[in-house]
Amino acid sequence: MRLGSQVIITSHFEETLAQLQDLAQENERFVPLIREGNFLVEDARLAIEKAYLASYEKTIVVLAADVFSPVVQNKLLKVIEEPPPKTDFILMLPSKATLLGTIRSRLPITILDETVEAEKLELDMERLDVRRVYDFVQKHKRIDGAGAKTLIESLVTAAIRSGRYDLDERTLELFHRSRQALDKGSPPSFVFIGVLLKLLARKKRERS
């Protein structure tokens, strides 16, 4: 692992940050901003403000979260493209699946561990409706908690990739809470219904 602007795919944020700090020289300053769940727009603003604080030291801004929404990634894009002098940006997240192409093209990707594997959903996210929600829940009603968490990640990834949903920060936070609910023993079918109905509510209307 090298020290410099990049995306690091890992779910072990604190451990990875410590490894990066071990690589740093005495005159290199770290500005970490680690969030549980979603990286918010106000977090992005704060990161940009910190990056522009005058410093004679080389600065490494480390941003970590489970999810960087498209809105947040676009907010960070300009400062990643044209960072302040002596400043590097490192993004840490568990999966590269939700990274926008603009971010991928500007930052090298280092994969330490990718927790979310590709999952064939057998669910057409572009044609999602109540009937398909019901069929999906029935099909996976006996799935265990670990498998359900993987499916939740895959649903969110597929929704983002489709571009058919208005996924604001509150919606993404719901998905994060859904994973927490599974950890606490909530029935997967109940969690799936909540996530999929929320997606239906956020589906963009087709123009006539």
CA–centroid distance for 54 within its chain? 29
Give the total residue count for the chain: 208
Mean pLDDT of 99-113: 87
**Higher pLDDT among residues 63 and 178, named by residue:** 63
Using alpha carbons, list the distances in angstroms from residue 195 to 163, 178, 198.
17, 7, 5
Residue 205 has pLDDT above 50, yes or no: yes
Q: Where are the domains of the chain?
A: 6-111, 125-201
CA–CA distance, 76 with 71 (Å, rounded to integer): 9
Give residue 124's pLDDT band: very low, low, confident or very high (50, 70, 90): confident
In the chain, what percentage of residues exceed pLDDT 70? Answer: 93
User: Confidence band (pLDDT; 50, 70, 90) for 116?
Assistant: very low
What mean pLDDT do residues 35-55 have? 87
Distance of alpha carbon 3 from its chain centroid, rounded?
Answer: 21
Residue 34 and residue 13 in contact, taking contact as beta carbons nearer than 8 Å: yes
CATH number for the segment(s) 6-111: 3.40.50.300
CA of 12: how far to CAs of 18, 19, 48, 154, in Å?
10, 11, 23, 20
User: Tokens 């020290």 correspond to what residue?
Assistant: 3
Asked if residue 69 has pLDDT above 50, the reply is yes
Position 117 confidence tier, pLDDT thresholds 50, 70, 90: very low
Whether the predicted pLDDT of 146 surpasses 80: no
For 172, the token pair is 């993404």
Mean pLDDT of the chain: 85
Confidence tier at 118 by pLDDT (50, 70, 90): very low
Which of 22-26, 40-44, 50-54 has the highest average model confidence (pLDDT)? 40-44
pTM: 0.64
